[in-house]
Chains A and B, each alone.
Chain A
Amino acid sequence: MRALRWILPSLALAGALAAGCMLVSGQFLVSYELPSPIAAAPTAVTAIGVDLNTVAAYRDHRDDLQDLADLALLGTFTNTGTAPVDVDLWMTPSLTAHTDAAAVGMDDTALRVWGPLRLAPGETKRIGWDASAALFRKGRAALLEQVRGDGVFTLYALGATGSYAFRVEGGAFVAVITAGK
């Protein structure tokens, strides 16, 4: 009788183990701090080279990486110009060194992955984790490809209009990866 009391959970656990990978999996936080401050204007953009291999959590789980559970770009954004600006984040899937917004726009590999974050003239906005995650929805697939690939890519913070100036301070790219053997 006593042994039978253990049959149900034991068999359930055995079933789960037989199913393979799912028990040996988890969600891991990967954060990459961006240079600070980053100033952006149409004729002067900053190429932000990202190498996730420098992050221990990514290195530890890169071979078992399955998906991205969450993405966010965090930091404090300030519109230093005189017109409203919609800030977008663009990505090229390899390391590039464009120095102006036009060059990024002409790069066939460049994709808009985050945004827009609207800032009024002179406005400073510290974007929260939840709000930022919502702005990543369209770029998730493109970033997943990079995260599952070599983990090296370039980000550009650009304005959506022809004339703008803004600054990003304390920026960080944050991803929650799911990994399972």
Chain B
Amino acid sequence: MQFLFAGITVGATYALVGVGFSIIYNASQVINFAQGEFVMLGGMTTWFLFERAGIPVALAIPLAVMGTAAVGMALEKFAIEPARDASVVTLIIITIGASIFLRGGAQLLWGRNFHSVPGLSGNEPIDIAGAAVSPQSLWILGVTVLVILALNWFFSRTMTGRAMRAVAFNLLAAQLAGVNNRRVLLLAFALAAALGATAGALIAPLSLAYPEVGIMLGLKGFCAAILGGLGFPYGAIAGGLILGISENMTAGYISSAYKDAVAFVIILLALFFMPHGLFGRRGADRV
């Protein structure tokens, strides 16, 4: 039970990161390797605002999220936009460069140490069905659900959201219908950064904040996105939860040493047997 909750908690984090990957992929076919760094920035900025600027955590988190969204937009504007016509591999390298850059910047500004951040409602575990659950976990779950609902509303009810879906479906048609692709891309990065930062800020009390925290989280979020079918945000959510739960169950019942490997083994198996992910549709080459 304990492991289930831990799994759901970390799974929700992977889900948020994975949705971010999907959103950017949908808008540009790019795999954003700096996504993990958005997570890191969320946590580190929250720590910084709380610890050094004395801002209460509940306020620091939204500020950190907005700040990271701004970083995401800057990344799109200055690194992705100029290289718009380059090959996908080149763009991937650019995002890798960005991730190194952001990590270097964080190390420079805030040092390499591990920092702790207090949870939103203290650190005393609550007893739920015999498992000791940290209140932060409940916050993570709650916020993730809210975020999902908000995204759902955004993508189906607002003009901008629908524009983004149109771009994912058929870029040319969307442009002909008047959708400004550059704005969509900018927004995609802002959203993905915000999602990553939210995940990072919320998980920081449980996992500590430090410059390297983004690497593994980013990779596993990527796994979640692929598991759910690259480009299907809801799939990423399911993927994230599955990964998180599997990981923790494995750690609890089989071997904690191979916990990190679980996500990647699942991904390999998924690629062998279910390549389009849980929800991906089989496409046919139009020639």
Q: Do the two chains belong together in a single complex?
A: no
- What residues make up the interface of B, taking CB atoms closer than 8 Å to A? none
- What residues make up the interface of A, taking CB atoms closer than 8 Å to B? none
